[in-house]
Amino acid sequence: MFKSKNILFMFILSAFILVLAACGEDDKSSTDTGTSNTDSGASTETAGTDYGVDFLSILTGGTQGTYYPLGGTFADLITSNTGVKATAEVSQASAANMTALDAGEGDVAFVQTDIAYYATNGTMMFDGKKIDSVSALGALYPETIQLVTLADSGIKSYADLKGKKVSVGAPGSGTFANAEQLLEIHGLSMDDIKAQNLDFGESTDGIQSGQIDAAFITAGYPTGAVEALNATNGVYIVPVEADKAEELIAKYPYYAVDNIPAGTYGLEADTPAVSVGAMLAVKKDLPEDLVYAMTKAIYDNTDKISHAKGAFIKAETGLDGIGIDVHPGAQKYFDEVK
């Protein structure tokens, strides 16, 4: 009898141990499944933000212009909102940027609207070198053509430039084209001046040292190089009178009437001027979802742009003045915010 009870006890104990072991396996299985689900969740999240691009190079301009500081802000916005690392690179600006994008030496670039038009149509400095690998991300702000000199230089009009040393930017640059066209409207040509091919910083240094008399600078005002010059020498911006602005726009419709307000660079009065547009261009082969995210990152966060030109950057004007194809990703964003 005792022996039978002992056998029954051992049987029950064995069964109990087997149940515990089974529960342990279930727990382990449950834990493994939980880990697997967590890994799957991380993988799904990564897939959701994986645009197939790890790095974006934003081509700007010289450090003394407007493109470079804005490019740094845009790089931060894109990086923080897309997870793709973006950096602003110093470059030779508009025309060189279009060529660099075409050559795969950058992904995003600041460019004047007129230069983008020339490049994609194979005209002006792009004659015979048409670029069809670049599209628009969006319009930014007016780029004012500023003819800068010193207040005591004696240069008060375009006619006064004759025979003077004038910086006109690098050959093939946007500034060079603007200088050439404005000289033309005022009855002058490059042969009437002693043209110097300097960047913005070199131009203002040259004016300060007396090596040159004036400089064409196409950039959003206030431009760093001009502000630095005005800090040591009073500057004067040669005006473009209304009749000449109208004549220029009639021949080259991508220009617009502009005005540099009193107080800028210490100017005592408003200065009539003309401008082209600044825009962002991108490689056409960038993924649509990435360009959409980049466009949204910039235009949804314009309140985070500290530069004075940030006030002009708006989603509702993001396609104004664009004369080239818009990237589908950017177009999707602007269609949504209409």
Closest alpha carbon to 172 in 125, 219, 217, 110: 125
Per-residue pLDDT at 171: 78
DSSP letter assigned to residue 250: H
Q: What is the pTM of this model?
A: 0.75
DSSP string, 44-89: HHHHHH--S--EEEEE---TTSSHHHHHHHHHHHHHHHHS-EEEEE
Distances (CA, A) of 10 to 5, 200, 291: 9, 95, 71
Domain 143-276: assigned CATH number: 3.40.190.10
| Reported confidence tier of residue 103, pLDDT bands at 50, 70, 90 | very high
Q: How far apart are CA 137 and CA 338, in angstroms?
A: 16
Q: How far apart are CA 53 and CA 295, in angstroms?
A: 16
Residues 163-193: tens digit of each pLDDT: 999 999 987 788 999 999 999 999 999 999 9
Kindly state the tokens that stand for 46: 């990564």
| Reported confidence tier of residue 44, pLDDT bands at 50, 70, 90 | very low
Kindly state the tokens that stand for 214: 């004036």
Q: How far apart are CA 285 and CA 133, in angstroms?
A: 8
Q: How far apart are CA 228 and CA 21, in angstroms?
A: 79
DSSP-derived pairing of the beta strands 271-283 and 108-112: antiparallel
Q: Are the C-beta atoms of residues 54 and 190 closer than 8 Å to each other? A: no
Topology agreement, domain 53-141+278-336 and domain 143-276 = yes
Residues 113-145: tens digit of each pLDDT: 999 999 999 998 899 999 999 999 999 999 999
Omega prior to 222 cis, within 30 of 0? yes
Domain 53-141+278-336: assigned CATH number: 3.40.190.10
Residues 243-287: tens digit of each pLDDT: 999 999 999 888 989 999 999 999 999 999 999 999 999 999 999
Kindly state the tokens that stand for 77: 């916005």
- Helix, strand, or coil (residue 278): strand
Mean pLDDT over each residue of the chain, to the nearest integer: 87
E strands of the chain, at which residues? 55-59, 85-89, 108-112, 134-150, 165-167, 194-196, 214-219, 235-237, 256-260, 271-283
Question: Domain residue spans in the chain?
Answer: 53-141+278-336, 143-276
Chain centre to alpha carbon of residue 9:
82
